[in-house]
Structure 1
Amino acid sequence: MTALHTPELFARLEPAERVLVAGAGGGFDICAGLPLALSLLHQGKEVHLANLTFSAIEGLPLDAWLAPDVAVVTAGTAPHQTYFPERTLARWLDLHGYPGTVHAFARVGVQPLRAAYRAVIEAYDIDAVVLVDGGTDILMRGDESGLGTPEEDLTSVAALAGIGGPDRLVVSVGFGVDAYHGVSHGLVLENIAALERDGAYLGAFSIPRASKEGALFVDAVAHAQHHTPDRPSIVNGSIAAAVRGDFGDVRFTERTRNSELFVNPLMSLCFAFELEGLARRCLYLDRIEDTHLMRQVSSAIELFREEVVTRPPVRIPH
Structure 2
Amino acid sequence: MTSLHTNPLFSRLADAERVLVAGAGGGFDVYAGLPLALSLLHQGKEVWFANLSFSALAGLPADAWAAPDLAVVTPGTAPHQGYFPERTLARWLRLHGYPSTVYAFPQTGVRPLRDAYRALAELHGIDAVVLVDGGTDILMRGDEAGLGTPEEDMASVAALAGLDGIPTRLVVSVGFGIDAHHGVNHVQVLENIAALERDGAYLGAFSIPRATREGALYLDAVAHAQHHTPERPSIVNGSIAAAVRGSFGDVRFTDRTLGGELFVNPLMSLYFAFDLPGLAARCLYLDRIEDTHLMRQIHSRIAEFREETPTRPPRTFPH
Say yes or no: does 1:34 pair with 2:29: no
The residue that corresponds to 1:214 in the other structure is: 215
Residue 120 of structure 2 is matched in structure 1 by 120
Q: What amino acid is the match of 1:213?
A: E
Q: Secondary structure at the match of 2:20?
A: strand
Query: What is residue 67 of structure 2 aligned with on the other side?
Result: 67
Query: 1:101-133, CA deviations, whole angstroms, 9 ceiling, x for partnerless residues?
Result: 100011100000000000000000001000000
In 2, distance between residues paired with 1:71 and 1:17? 23
Paired residue secondary structure (1:131) = strand
Q: Distance in 1 between matches of 2:210 and 2:314?
A: 32
* Structure 2 counterparts to residues 248-267 of structure 1, below 5 A: 248-267=249-268
1:317 positional shift: 1.5
The superposition leaves residues 14-48 of structure 1 with CA deviations (integer Å, 9 ceiling, x where unpaired) of 00000000000000000000000000000000000
Offset of residue 316 of structure 1: 1.3
Supply the distance in 2 between the matched residues of 1:125 and 1:83 (Cα, whole angstroms).
31
Q: Secondary structure at the match of 1:58?
A: helix
Letter in 2 for 1:69: D
SS at match of 2:48: strand
Instruction: Report what 1:224 is aligned to.
Output: 225
Tell me which amino acid in the other structure corresponds to 2:211.
A
Counterparts of 1:314 and 1:154, CA distance in 2: 24
Q: Does 2:131 match 1:104?
A: no
Match of 2:154 in 1: 154
Secondary structure in 2 matching 1:303:
helix
State the AA in 2 paired with 1:219.
Answer: D
Q: Which amino acid in the other structure matches residue 279 of structure 2? A: L
Structure 1 match to 2:312: 311
Give the drift of 1:94: 0.5
Per-residue deviation, residues 258-296 of structure 1 (Å, max 9, x unmatched): 100000000000000000010010000000000000000
Distance 2:226 2:6 in 1: 33
Matched AA of 1:10 = F
Matches of 1:271 and 1:192, distance apart in 2: 9
Tell me how far apart the structure 2 counterparts of residues 117 and 63 of structure 1 sit (CA, whole Å).
18
| Structure 1 residue 246, shift from structure 2 partner | 0.3
Gaps of at least 5 residues in structure 2 are none
User: Superposed, which structure 2 residues align to 1:267-286 within 5 Å?
Assistant: 267-286=268-287
Q: State the identity %.
A: 79
Aligned to 2:180: 179
Deviations 1:129-176 (CA, angstroms, capped at 9, x unpaired): 000000000000000000000000000000000001221000000000
The whole-number CA distance in structure 1 between the counterparts of 2:103 and 2:159 is: 16
CA–CA distance in structure 2, aligned partners of residues 224 and 180 of structure 1: 23
For 2:318 and 2:254, the matched residues in 1 are separated by 30
Return the alpha-carbon distance in structure 2 between the equivalents of residues 125 and 162 of structure 1: 17
CA distance in structure 1 between the partners assigned to 2:204 and 2:315 by the alignment: 22
Alpha-carbon distance between aligned partners in 2 of 1:266 and 1:61, rounded to the nearest angstrom: 42
Q: Distance in 2 between matches of 1:165 and 1:273?
A: 19
User: C-alpha separation between the residues in 2 aligned to 1:212 and 1:317?
Assistant: 36
State the distance in 2 between where 1:85 and 1:6 align.
33
1:89 corresponds in structure 2 to 89
- Matched with 1:25 is 25
2-structure distance, mates of 1:222, 1:43: 25
- Distance in 2 of aligned mates of 1:231 and 1:284: 32
* Rounded Cα–Cα distance in structure 2 between residues aligned with 1:95 and 1:312: 48
Give, in whole Å, the separation in 2 of the partners of 1:255 and 1:183: 20
What residue identity is the alignment partner of 1:118?
Answer: R
SS in 2 for 1:66: strand
| RMSD after superposition | 0.5
Please tell me the residue identity of whatever aligns with 1:85.
P
Partner Cα separation in structure 2 for residue 42 and residue 217 of structure 1:
14
**Post-superposition offset of 1:7:** 1.1
Structure 1 residue runs of 4+, over 4 Å off? Answer: none
1:51 aligns with 51
TM-score (norm. length: structure 2): 0.99
Q: Provide the rounded CA distance (Å) in 2 between the counterparts of 1:310 and 1:11.
A: 36
SS in 1 for 2:151: helix
